[in-house]
Amino acid sequence: MKKGKEIRSRFFSTSSIFNYIPDEDRYLSQVEKPEYKFNIIGTGIMGQEHIRITILEGRATVRGVYDPNPQSVETAKQTFAMMAPGQDLIVYDSLEKACNDPEVDGLIICTPNYTHIDVVRIASQSGKHILLEKPMATTIPDAAEITRIANDYKAVFQIGLQYRYKAMYIEAIYEGLKRKSIGDIKLISIMEHRLPFLDKVSQWNKFSRFSGGTLVEKCCHYFDLMNLFAQSKPVEVYASGSMAVNFLEFEHEKRKSDILDNAFVTVIYENNIRASFNLCMFAPMFYEEIVLCGNEGRLKAWECEDYLPGPRLKTSLEIMRGEGNPSRVSTPYYPTYIEAGGHNGATYYEHIKFIDNIKGLQTDTATVEEGFWSIVVGAAAEKSAKQGLPVKIRDLI
C-alpha cells in the first residue's frame, strides 16, 4: 500500500480501538515492522519504562529481559504483555546470556547504579549497541573506566541523560543555545522540588555507597544540563546540604540511610559562567525550573505536577527581552500518550535518538564524555557538602 504525506501518529498504530481492522486494510494505523531487537538488563521502574517506550516508538521491540529479582521479572512480563499482546518475551537466567544473544541488536542497561561498572564490563564484550541509564557510574574512577571502554567501542554507546529531551528543555536549548534569544548566557539556575526517593529493591537508593549519593544519583541530569548551557568545563564546585526530613530513622539490613534530602550547589566554569542548583526532596509535588540569564534577556521554564484538581498549566516557558526584542510566553508539551510513557516524554525521544544513532544518523545525544562530566560535578558536590569547603575540579580528578 503506497503511503502519501499524511500526518501520522504512533497513537493510531498502538491504539486498541483499531484492532478490528485487518492488517491489509490498515493505512494510517499500519503497524511498522520493528527493525531492531533490544534486551532490557534490569527490570525495575526504569526497565519497565524502557519496555513501554521501545514498543511505543515502534522501530524496535524487546526480545528479552534479565534481572536476578523474580518479582521484577514478573512485573516486566506483565508490562510487555500489555504493550505487545500475543508476543513472546525471553527471560534469561544469566547476564552473559542476555548480553550475547545473537538475535539481539542492542542492550538497555537499567540496573542499580553501583552495578553499572560490572554490567558494562560484561555487556561491552558483546559488541552490541548500548544505552546505559544515568548515572553512568557512582564514582569518578568507575565513570572514567566506562568512558575509556566507550571511547574504543565500535557500536553505539549512549548515556541515558534523557532530561535533555523534556519539552521545556528542548525549547530552552533551542532558544538559549541555537537561536540565542537572550544573547550570551552568563548565569544558570536550576531547581528541583519533589517527593522523596521512591522504594527500590533492597532500598539501594537510600545509601550513598550504592547510589553515589543524592547529588550524583538524582542530580546528574541537571548537572548535564548546566554543563550543556555553560558550554564549558567546571573548575570549582561548592555545595551545602543535609538530611533534614527524609529517612532520618530509616535502616535496612542494619545500615542507616545517609543520603541528602536538600542541597544548594554552585558551579563556576572555565568561561566564568556561574550556575546554581536548588534541591528539596521533601516537597509535596514534582517541580522543575530553569532560569537562564543572558546579556540580552532572561529565559525561564518550569514544569509542575502537584496533584491538585483545578485547571492549571503543567509547563511554561517565558523569554523576556525588554524593549529591544519581542518577549514570549508559551507552554511546551508533547502528545499526552507520549508524555505518559515516562519522564514527560523525554524517554520516548531518547529512544528515537538511540535508534537514529544505530542507523548512523547525526543526533544531539549526550556523549559519554558529557556523561562523565555530569558525574564529576555530582561527585564534587557530594564531597563539598560533606567537607563544607569548595572543591577544585583539578584536585578532584
pLDDT digits (tens, 9 = 90+) for 39-90: 999 999 999 999 999 999 999 999 999 999 999 999 999 999 999 999 999 9
- 3 by DSSP, 3-state: which? coil
Instruction: Record the pTM.
Output: 0.94
- The per-residue pLDDT for 32 is 80
Over residues 185-214, the mean pLDDT reads 97
The residue that leads in pLDDT, 67 or 3, is 67
Instruction: Take residue 116 and report the three cell numbers written for it.
Output: 553499572
- DSSP symbol at 9: -
- The per-residue pLDDT for 3 is 65
Over residues 128-155, the mean pLDDT reads 98
Q: Is 345 left (phi over 0), alpha (psi -120 to 50) or beta?
A: left
pLDDT digits (tens, 9 = 90+) for 243-284: 999 999 999 999 999 999 999 999 999 999 999 999 999 999
Domains of the chain: 10-162 (3.40.50.720), 163-335+367-396 (3.30.360.10)
- The per-residue pLDDT for 319 is 98
Residue 12 has pLDDT above 80, yes or no: no
Bridge partner list, 328: 319
Residue with cell 493505512: 27
**Where residue 100 falls among pLDDT bands split at 50, 70, 90?**
very high
Contacts of 7 (CB under 8 A, 6+ apart): none
**Where residue 1 falls among pLDDT bands split at 50, 70, 90?**
low
Alpha helices (H) in 175-267, listed in sequence order: 208-211, 214-217, 220-230
Mean pLDDT computed over every residue of the chain: 95
Residue 346 has pLDDT above 80, yes or no: yes
**Where residue 344 falls among pLDDT bands split at 50, 70, 90?**
very high
- The per-residue pLDDT for 156 is 98
Q: 9-13, 149-153, 222-226, 241-245 — which is least confidently predicted?
A: 9-13
The residue that leads in pLDDT, 200 or 25, is 200
Residue 376 has pLDDT above 70, yes or no: yes
Over residues 81-106, the mean pLDDT reads 97
Residue with cell 536476578: 68
Which of 282, 356, 357, 335 minimizes the C-alpha distance to 167? Answer: 335
- The per-residue pLDDT for 305 is 94
Residue 16 has pLDDT above 90, yes or no: no
- The angle formed by the CA atoms of residues 348, 354 and 355, to the nearest 5 degrees, is 95
DSSP 359-380: TT----PPPHHHHHHHHHHHHH
**Where residue 2 falls among pLDDT bands split at 50, 70, 90?**
low
In angstroms, the CA 379 to CA 130 distance is 24
- The per-residue pLDDT for 220 is 97
Over residues 213-229, the mean pLDDT reads 97
- The per-residue pLDDT for 182 is 98
- The per-residue pLDDT for 219 is 97
- DSSP symbol at 32: P
Q: 1-5, 40-44, 53-57, 290-294 — which is least confidently predicted?
A: 1-5
Residue 382 has pLDDT above 70, yes or no: yes
- The angle formed by the CA atoms of residues 355, 164 and 384, to the nearest 5 degrees, is 125
Instruction: Take residue 119 and report the three cell numbers written for it.
Output: 554490567
Bridge partner list, 291: 189, 300
- The per-residue pLDDT for 310 is 86
Bridge partner list, 319: 299, 328
The residue that leads in pLDDT, 349 or 18, is 349
Residue 6 has pLDDT above 80, yes or no: no
